[in-house]
Amino acid sequence: MIERILPVDVVAVEAFADPPDAVLLPEEEAVVAKAVDKRRREFTTVRHCARQALARLGREPVAILPGERGAPGWPDGIVGSMTHCAGYRAAVLAEDKVVTSLGIDAEPHVTLPDGVLDAVSLPDEREHLAALAAAEPGVHWDKLLFAAKESVYKTWFPLARKWLGFSDARIRLARDGTFTAELLVPGPQVNGAELRGFDGRWTTGDGLVVAAIAMV
Ligand SMILES: CC(C)(COP(=O)(O)OP(=O)(O)OC[C@H]1O[C@@H](n2cnc3c(N)ncnc32)[C@H](O)[C@@H]1OP(=O)(O)O)[C@@H](O)C(=O)NCCC(=O)NCCS
């Protein structure tokens, strides 16, 4: 489902179950040697997806290790992003000559737990969510806002190499499947200009909400 919200230059591979033939490379094994089964399965399957995407880009299978603040390390010339949640894993990759940064996030399509929305949103974002919910009650807009913010962080981090908090970007979701993110903190220089925000897309289906940013 994620490829429908990404440009054609981005290779997307997703899985709705953990394939029995998914394996880790030795350096990756070391990372999850003491992890619980759930973590091990999501870590393995999403890397299986990422290596399939690498192959489609004509690249060799390599270990994809968590680096600074958990950001995955991609081979030279590649940008990418990964997400996993109950019943879903996805990896999206592209050549860095074509795409500057990628960020994706998938979440179960249910409302946020009590108290979380206030912690992850700005007051005006909550007003915006209320208006969207009145117009289209079938979407859990609070969870979508959360997924959009996580996709913002994953796109931001490889460019800025620093933390971005939930109140550091203002999200505007649109019912047409798009969203914008306005940075409320100074951004890094990217392609000769200050990064001010992102344009993303979202979708729902199969019990999931998925948000994706492909910054060209
Ligand atoms: C890092 C974070 C975004 C991960 O999101 P999540 O919903 O918990 O988990 P997901 O399964 O969707 O994504 C996990 C994957 O994100 C990727 N990831 C982790 N840290 C990352 C970082 N700093 N930069 C880019 N990608 C990162 C990894 O590939 C990870 O998978 P892996 O551990 O198997 O390699 C989240 O835990 C977090 O710290 N959020 C706070 C920051 C934030 O969202 N700010 C909002 C800004 S508006």
* 208 pocket-lining for ligand 1 (C-beta < 6 Å): no
Residue whose CA is closest, atom 13 of ligand 1? 83
How far apart CA 207 and CA 139 sit, in angstroms, is 11
* 39 pocket-lining for ligand 1 (C-beta < 6 Å): no
How far apart CA 3 and CA 215 sit, in angstroms, is 15
Q: What is the pLDDT along the chain (216 residues), one digit of tens a residue?
A: 999 999 999 999 999 999 999 999 999 999 999 999 999 999 999 999 999 999 999 999 999 999 999 999 999 999 999 999 999 999 999 999 999 999 999 999 999 999 999 999 999 999 999 999 999 999 999 999 999 999 999 999 999 999 999 999 999 999 999 999 999 999 999 999 999 999 999 999 999 999 999 999
How far apart CA 121 and CA 19 sit, in angstroms, is 36
In order of their start, the domains of the chain are 2-99 (3.90.470.20), 105-215 (3.90.470)
Q: Which of 82, 122, 144, 180 to mutate to test the pocket of ligand 1 (most atoms within 8 A of CB)?
A: 82
* 109 pocket-lining for ligand 1 (C-beta < 6 Å): no
Half-sphere exposure of 99 (CA within 13 A, CB side): 22
> Closest ligand 1 atom, CA of 155?
25
Q: What is the CA(154)–ligand 1 centre distance, in A?
A: 6
Q: What is the CA(174)–ligand 1 centre distance, in A?
A: 23
Label the pairing between strands 178-183 and 169-173: antiparallel
Q: What is the CA(81)–ligand 1 centre distance, in A?
A: 9
Q: What is the pTM of this model?
A: 0.98
- Pull the structure tokens for residue 87: 């019943």
* 67 pocket-lining for ligand 1 (C-beta < 6 Å): no
H helices within 32-181, ranges in order?
A: 37-56, 116-120, 123-135, 141-160
